[in-house]
Structure 1
């Protein structure tokens, strides 16, 4: 290979390395909020259907938790204990946790809570694993592993608490 050919190849390799480094840096900024929003949306949409006005659980939600939703464990289906209380907790969680997650506030804890909720939902709807629950669980685990990212309230709080470290 000629001197100019080797030089061209080296420039191309350096350009590719530079491009990949910039793509990685872009991904590190954009991926966390995209993951947070992707996980937030299905829970938030579901949460909006649970309410019938301000702080009023819809009758349909109460009916579902009292009569339809069952926990499937070891081949048997069990009623929720205190279904009205569970319905209220779920309705509150499905609205507040996605908002906190989208903002990136208490990100890893919220992602863990949504992962646990996904596990409970899997017990209620055992056939939903391949269609929904696997993806929700994967998003939650990715968020727990990667953290909130620089475009988050958590990042701002950390900068405020530890100004010299970031």
Structure 2
């Protein structure tokens, strides 16, 4: 008689539950916290990097479009506003620089929590500039907060430096 039969005469799904257990164990092995954290860091870095690359014509040479955007197009949507950005040339240079430097640091996992905080602040300014973009901006904010809360993971320079110090 088949050992997989239950008292009610039906087949017990041991084969299926065993398969689910094996798949679950394999997924836990693949989706380690460190892999998850590096994917999260890269996912947050990409949109900022792409925006930053579009602001430059060469090394420390901001393109005219970036300055023009901060001079005439982009406005801060605050109560009583919208308001122009103060010192648009400086703001364009600072945002362009941050959009290049912070994603590099984030992908490398160097000063990761501080870098994620910088990108969170940039996200807040972007939200004040483009209020209708909140579905995307809240995703960026959630990723930055997750990185700040759980750190860079083992696949990072922060972790490597930390283990070297001990």
> TM over 0.5, yes or no?
yes
| Contact preservation (8 Å) 2:120, 2:144 | yes
Asked which structure has the greater CA Rg, the reply is 2
Instruction: Show CA shifts across 1:19-77 (max 9, x none).
Output: 64553353212100000000000000000000011110000000001111111111511
Partner of 1:135: 139
Take 2:157 and 2:48, find their aligned partners in 1: how far apart are those partners? 20
- RMSD of aligned C-alpha atoms? 2.3
Take 1:17 and 1:159, find their aligned partners in 2: how far apart are those partners? 34
Change (3 A) 1:68 1:125: same
Take 2:49 and 2:160, find their aligned partners in 1: how far apart are those partners? 24
Partner of 1:159: 163
Matches within 5 A, 1:21-36: 23-27=27-31, 28-36=33-41
Partner of 2:72: 67
TM-score by length of 1: 0.84
Take 1:138 and 1:32, find their aligned partners in 2: how far apart are those partners? 13
Higher helix share: 1
Instruction: Show CA shifts across 1:108-151 (max 9, x none).
Output: 11011101100000000000001x20111111111112210111
2:127 to 122, 128, 131: 122
Structure 1 stretch 39-48 or stretch 68-77: which is displaced more?
68-77
Extract structure 1 runs of 4+ deviating beyond 3 A.
8-26
Segments of structure 1 that go 5 or more residues without pairing to the other structure are none
| Contact preservation (8 Å) 2:34, 2:152 | no
Segments of structure 2 that go 5 or more residues without pairing to the other structure are 5-11
TM-score by length of 2: 0.84
Take 2:81 and 2:95, find their aligned partners in 1: how far apart are those partners? 23
Take 2:92 and 2:140, find their aligned partners in 1: how far apart are those partners? 20
